[in-house]
């Protein structure tokens, strides 16, 4: 079943991220009867050391926990002001996994997208698109970069 969204919280959220139309067709999803919040998202990395340097030194995140599990090592990072975490996962069990250039996007909101893009560039990482207004999303400022494993980093301003 499909719905056309025209009003309400979802329409407001679409406008807040720069969508110019609130008439979006989406698949119907049942609403869970529990209160759900995303605590963290984990991404596989080729080197915890390299990825930690990027997320901590370049993006300004801070490590809040580390884990050594039988098949992987993990570092949990959060932004300086908190919020959802990113878990960097380096597999140590000898099984080869593809963790590079996957279709994954990590969206960051920052007070100064251009300054963050400059930090990323200065650290030697790719800026895919400078953070400038985009007509495709109603003129909202959007930028893109890549982390050490090729994950796409979307850079948005704190205030849309």
pLDDT in tens, 19-66: 444 445 556 677 767 888 889 999 999 999 999 999 999 999 999 999
Return the H-helix or E-strand segment holding 20: none
Over residues 112-124, the mean pLDDT reads: 97
Instruction: Locate the domains of the chain by residue range.
Output: 1-29, 39-157
pLDDT in tens, 88-97: 999 999 999 9
Give me the long-range contacts of 71-80 (CB less than 8 A, separation at least 24). Answer: 71/95, 73/48, 74/42, 75/48, 75/51, 76/40, 77/52, 79/108
- Write down the H helix ranges in the chain: 9-16, 48-52, 113-122
Class for the domain spanning 39-157: alpha beta
Distance CA 62, CA 78 (A): 6
Distance CA 71, CA 89 (A): 10
């Amino acid at each position: 079943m499909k719905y056309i969204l025209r009003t309400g919280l979802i329409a407001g959220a679409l406008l807040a991220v720069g969508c110019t139309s609130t008439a979006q067709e989406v698949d119907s999803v049942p609403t869970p009867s529990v209160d759900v919040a995303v605590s963290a998202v984990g991404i596989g990395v080729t080197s915890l050391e390299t990825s930690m340097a990027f997320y901590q030194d370049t993006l300004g995140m801070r490590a809040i926990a580390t884990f050594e599990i039988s098949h992987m090592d993990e570092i949990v990072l959060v932004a300086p002001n908190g919020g959802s975490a990113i878990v960097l996962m380096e597999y140590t069990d000898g099984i080869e996994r593809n963790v590079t250039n996957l279709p994954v996007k990590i969206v960051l909101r920052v007070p100064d997208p251009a300054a963050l893009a400059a930090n990323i560039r200065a650290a030697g990482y790719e800026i895919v698109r400078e953070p400038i207004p985009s007509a495709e999303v109603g003129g909202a400022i959007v930028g893109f970069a890549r982390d050490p494993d090729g994950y796409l980093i979307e850079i948005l301003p704190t205030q849309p």
